[in-house]
Amino acid sequence: MHDFTVLLIEVGALLLGLGLLGRLSRRIGLSPIPLYLLAGLAFGHGGLLPLSASEEFFAVGAEIGVILLLVMLGLEYSASELVGNLRSAAPAGLIDGLLNALPGAAFAFMMGWGWVSAVVLAGVTWVSSSGVIAKVLADLGRLGNRETPVILSVLVIEDLAMALYLPLVTAVLAGTSLMGGSIALGVAVFTVVLVLVVAIKYGGAISAMFSPKDPEALLLGVLGLTVLVAGIAASLKVSAAVGAFLVGIALSGQVAHNATELLSPLRDLFAAVFFVFFGLATNPADMPPVLLPALALAVVTMATKVLTGYLAAKRVGIAEPGRWRAGLGLMPRGEFSIVIAGLAVGATGIAPQLAPLATAYVLITVVTGPLLARVPDTPWFKAWLRRRAAAQRCEPLPATD
C-alpha cells in the first residue's frame, strides 16, 4: 500500500507539473516538448529528485503515447492517399537514407568503433521521430498544410524501413548466422505487406465494425484495435508504430473523424508521458563526455534532414515556404533512435560510448528540432524568403549568341 501511495503522489505531482509547463509554453509561444524533456531529466536517474516508484508506469505510458501519436496521424489520411504518397516519395526515401544514414556510419568509422557500431549509428541518425514530429505538427496547426503529406510519406517510408532494419541489426548484434538473419527479415517483410494489404483492401469493412454514433464503444473499439495490432506487430519484430499507423489509415469516413475527436485528449496525455519518460531514462551525468561529438553529429545530420525535406517537397511542386517547413520539421530523432541504441548496449563489437552519445544526440535534436520548426513562421524568415524570391525574379537572362 505504501508503494501504491507513493506512486499516486509521484504521478499526480508530475502530471500537474506537466499541465503547468504546457500552459507556460503556450503562453510564451513555444512547443511544450522541450519542457517535458527537461522535466524528465530533472526527475530521472541522476536528476534533482529521482522518481523511482512511478518509472514503470511512465514506461508503459510512453509506449501507449507513441502508438496514439501514430494512429492519429494515420486517421488524417486514407489508404489511397498513403499509396499515392509512398509512390511519389520513394525517391525522397532513398535520398533520405543516403543523406542521413551515411553520416552516422562515417562518424563511427572516424571514431574507430568498427563496422558493427557503424551499422547501429547509421540507424540512429537516419530515422526521424514520428512521435515528436506528429506532436509538433499538431501544436503548430500544420496537419492540413500541403507539405504535411510529404513529411508523412518520408516518416512512413522510414518506419517501414525500420521494420526491415530492426530484425537485421538485431541479428548482426547477436552474431546470428546468415540464414537466421534472412528468416527474421523475411518475417518482417511478410508482416508489413500483409498489414498493408488488409488496410488498403478491407478498410471499409474494418470501419463498419464501429458505429460513429456510439462514442463510448467507438473509443474502446478503436483504442483496443490499435493497441492489439501494435502489440502483434511488435511481437513479430515489426514496429508497433507502423501497426498503429496502418490501423489509422484503415479507418475512414465518419468513423475516422469521430475517432480523431475522441482520441485527441488521450493522445495529448500519453504523448506528454512519452517525452517525460525519455528524460527520466537518461542520466545527465553521462552526457558531458560525449556532448561535443554528439553536437557535431547533430548539426550535420539536422542539416541533411532539412535538405531531405526541402528536396522532397520541391519534387512534388510545393512552394518554397512549404519546402522549408518540410525540411525543418523532419529534424528531431527520438523513439527509434533510442530503441536502436538500446539494442546495442552490451553487445559484442559495440563501443561503450555509443549509448550515451546516442542519448545526447537525440536530446539535442528533440529539443532544438521543435524550436527550429517554428522558424518558417517568423516575420524575419518570411521577409528573407520575399527578398530571395524578388532577387530570383530580377536575375538577368543568360546571354545568347
Q: What is the mean pLDDT of residues 101-113?
A: 92
pLDDT at 62: 81
Q: Is the dihedral of CA 14, 19, 24, 29 positive or negative?
A: positive
Q: Domains along the chain?
A: 2-378 (1.20.1530.20)
The region of weakest confidence among 273-282, 290-299, 339-348 is 339-348
Q: Which range among 63-72, 227-236, 336-345, 376-385 shows the weakest confidence by mean pLDDT?
A: 336-345
Q: Which pLDDT score, from 0 to 100, does residue 232 have?
A: 84
| pLDDT tens string 41-52 | 788 766 667 776
| Confidence at 401, pLDDT banded by 50, 70, 90 | very low
For 54-68, 121-135, 306-320, which range has the lowest pLDDT when averaged over its residues? 54-68
The C-alpha cell at 290 is 560525449
Query: Per the structure block, which three cell numbers stand in for 13?
Result: 505531482
Query: How many angstroms separate the Cα of 32 from the Cα of each of 21, 38, 61, 288?
Result: 7, 10, 18, 24
In whole angstroms, give the CA distance from residue 255 to residue 275.
29
Q: What is residue 303's predicted lDDT score, i.e. its pLDDT?
A: 95
- Model confidence at 297, in pLDDT bands (50, 70, 90)? very high
Q: What per-residue confidence (pLDDT) applies to 237?
A: 65
Q: Which of 183-187, 215-219, 311-315, 354-358 has the lowest mean pLDDT?
A: 183-187
* Closest by Cα among 297, 306, 295, 243 to 96: 306
The overall average pLDDT reported for the chain is 81
Q: How confident is the model at residue 107 (pLDDT cuts 50, 70, 90)?
A: very high
Of 138-142, 346-350, 381-385, which gets the smallest average pLDDT? 346-350
Tens of pLDDT, residues 218-249: 999 999 999 998 888 777 766 677 778 778 87
Q: What pLDDT sits at residue 326? A: 93
With 60 as the cut, is the pLDDT of residue 197 above it?
Answer: yes
More confident residue, 228 or 139: 228
Which among 70-74, 283-287, 370-374 has the top mean pLDDT?
370-374
Torsion angle in degrees (nearest 10) through CA of 365, 50, 272, 57: 130
For residue 185, what pLDDT is reported?
A: 66
Alpha carbon distance 53, 299 (integer Å): 37
Nearest to 23 by CA among 268, 331, 270, 370: 268
Give the residue with greater pLDDT, 265 vs 156.
Answer: 265
